[in-house]
Structure 1
Amino acid sequence: MNKKGQLIVVSGPSGVGKGTVLKEYLASRDQIAYSVSATTRSPRPGEEHGVHYFFLSREEFEQTVQSGGMLEYASYNNNYYGTPKKPVEEQRAKGNDVVLEIEVQGALQVKKACPDALLIFIAPPSFEELASRLTGRQTEDSKTVENRLNIARKELLCAKEYDYIIVNDTVELAVQRLAQVISANRYSIKNMKEFLDEVNKHA
């Protein structure tokens, strides 16, 4: 059996509810770690440094990239986002799954760098519903919301590059679908290669 933890990449448009789905999924499971991303954007109300994100200056972020300390990084809505490499590698080596909640640009970087990564795209039931959710949370002005919707249109076109698409019509159903996909992927050929090699060695 492959003892190395899975690398699970989850993306989706802003406002689709991917954070809520992941929170519910992670709440009842052991041996899975949530990778805290780094960003240059300002904290939103209630967000804490080191818990929701590592909030870095542009200079700090760029220095980390130059030193090879990011697994992936991307520019989104005029800010940098990235995944610190070391914590991810340490958790996987312990046999723990690691979940990355990252933007599409970063996810496609991970796909190239880590062929064994599982890419999951969280989609809204419709584009109209996504627009309603973004407007309804009332945390940003109309110009920012429209910018996020323009980005979402481009992101949805990239969904075909992922391994699975999960529609978040209700959180409960989306969590169930996410659990099924992650469980099945553990026994995929790419994750059972080590086991097969060991069996064939003694055949």
Structure 2
Amino acid sequence: MSEPGTEPAPAAKRLIVLSGPSGVGKSTVVAELRRAYPDVWLSVSATTRAPRPGEQDGVQYHFVDDEEFDRLVAEDELLEWARFAGNRYGTPRRPVEERLAAGLPVLLEIELQGARQVRETMPEALQVFLAPPSWDELVRRLTGRGTESEEVIRRRLEAARVELAAEKEFDTTLVNTSVREVCAELLALITAPAV
């Protein structure tokens, strides 16, 4: 038994939901954050979309077919799921719940529909909106990827307008003008004591 007043502070039991429009740089920010702070665990989503060049199953996403995704939904194995740009994405439930129960910080990088579902089922989560510096910059980032067809880009831009309008639903907003600065702000939110 420890001396009174010498007990270690409890670890923050913190679930952070990071969302924002397609092309805002969520993946870039998360990759940089995890390089700087590897203790932050990022949930790897399941998706029905095909891998982009360089993506590996189980690293960026768990790539599954429609039948497997249907099974995950039917067996309530997803914390949230959404259809986006013609594909489905979802967060496996068990790994998130296990890490939160252990008092470890968990980061979810998900789309707006998924963020709304998590808000309903886990209202204690801190919802963070990642915003672009401007609409023109967002358009430049989306069209500059060179990995998607004109139709996919058009759908992503339509979705981005809806997503930007939802910013007020979130607990806080970070503007992605500098990946390093946004990472520092996000890390401060993740490591802040839970209230």
Same fold (TM over 0.5): yes
- Given candidates 123, 126, 129, the residue that maps to 1:118 is 126
Determine whether 1:128 maps to 2:136: yes
State the match for 1:144 in structure 2: 152
User: What are the equivalent positions in structure 2 for 1:67-86 lying under 5 Å apart?
Assistant: 67-86=75-94
**C-alpha distance in 2 between matches for 1:142 and 1:75:** 19
Aligned counterparts of 1:162 and 1:2: Cα–Cα separation in 2: 26
Instruction: Give 1:54's match in structure 2, choosing from 59, 62, 87.
Output: 62
Work out whether 1:102 is the aligned partner of 2:107: no
CA distance in 1, matches of 2:29, 2:56: 20
- Tell me, which stretches of 5 or more residues in structure 2 are unaligned? 1-8
Query: Matches of 2:11 and 2:180 in 1, distance apart?
Result: 29
Q: Which residue of 2 aligns with 1:160?
A: 168
How far off is 1:47 after superposition? 0.7
Aligned to 2:32: 24
The share of aligned pairs that are identical, in percent, is 48
Please tell me whether the aligned partners of residues 85 and 152 of structure 2 are also in contact (alpha carbons under 8 angstroms).
Answer: no
Q: Calculate the aligned-residue CA RMSD, in Å.
A: 1.4
**2-structure distance, mates of 1:31, 1:177:** 16
| Structure 1 residue 124 displacement after superposition | 0.4
TM-score (norm 2): 0.91
Q: Which segments of 5 or more consecutive residues in structure 1 lack a partner in the other structure?
A: 193-203
Contact 1:91 1:97 in 2 (8 A): yes
- Does structure 2 retain, via aligned residues, the 8 Å contact 1:124–1:169? yes
Q: How many pairs does the alignment contain?
A: 187
